[in-house]
Amino acid sequence: MSLTNHRLCFLASPTPEAQTAFDELTDLYGNHSAQEADTIVALGGDGFMLQTLHQTVNSGKRIYGMNCGSVGFLMNDYRVDKLQERIDQAVENDFHPLQMKTRNADGTTSLALAINEVYLFRQSYQAGKLRVTVDGHVRLEELICDGLIISTPAGSTAYNLSAHGPILPLDAPLLAMTPVSAFRPRRWRGALLPNRVSVEIDILEPEKRPVNAVADNTEVKSVLHVHVSQSRHRTARILSDPDHSWSERILAEQFSDGFS
């Protein structure tokens, strides 16, 4: 069914470029509330797109991003003309985010979602010491490292790639587990896990080696235990132009020379 005349909600990051784009587009197409809109158009960079996806998880709203930021891997090119036609022809990708549950040194617990990744990192000059368990089986009795990343395919080209983790095709039913500066076992380079698994990470010697945990942009300090699994009852929906689809972007990244 064509939605050429469907209702759009424009959301913009606070940067001058995004605010200028917001004024230009709302003058041309109008602006509906997020509740009334058929599609939400996010104007900004990748960080703003992640923020918008988090705000709209399980709302049924489709998110179409246009790059008005510095990176824009998750975004489509910014163009004013024929926007509704572009949205009509866009490819939809649905994602189940990761769910991070933590037990913390101050006696509290935390719950957060991640579209890109969950990662742990050392809080002090001391490297972290972690025990890694996958589906009830201890896989690493002791991992000493600066950090550990558990990435979705959508996030595999972000922090995971900077840490020399593998790029995952968007439709791959996998998670990438990638260490950051592993000291012991020194030769361990990470693992590819089915996305249905449950991962538990215990922080060893937490008083001597405190560790923080992050789910996208939510940080929890001084965690003792972290549980990560895919939240299958939550869904985020994102649209990409067919000539520059998200799947194609991830595939192209695997052949990139690193300078483009």
Annotated binding site: 46-47, 116-117, 146, 154, 157-162
Number of helices and strands (H, E) in the chain? Answer: 5, 17
Enumerate residues 6+ apart whose C-beta is below 8 A from 225: 102, 103, 200, 201, 202, 203
CB 134 within 8 A of CB 210: no
CB 120 within 8 A of CB 227: no
Q: Which of 27, 46, 81, 202 is catalytic?
A: 46
- Pick out the residues of the known binding site for NAD(+): 46-47, 116-117, 146, 154, 157-162
CB 180 within 8 A of CB 147: yes
Enumerate residues 6+ apart whose C-beta is below 8 A from 166: 156, 160, 176, 178, 190, 192
| Backbone angles phi and psi of 55, in degrees to 5 | -70, -20
- Rounded to 10 degrees, the C-alpha dihedral 157/164/102/105 comes to -140
Planar angle of CA 7, 10, 12, nearest 5 degrees: 175
135 has catalytic annotation: no
**Residues forming the active site:** 46
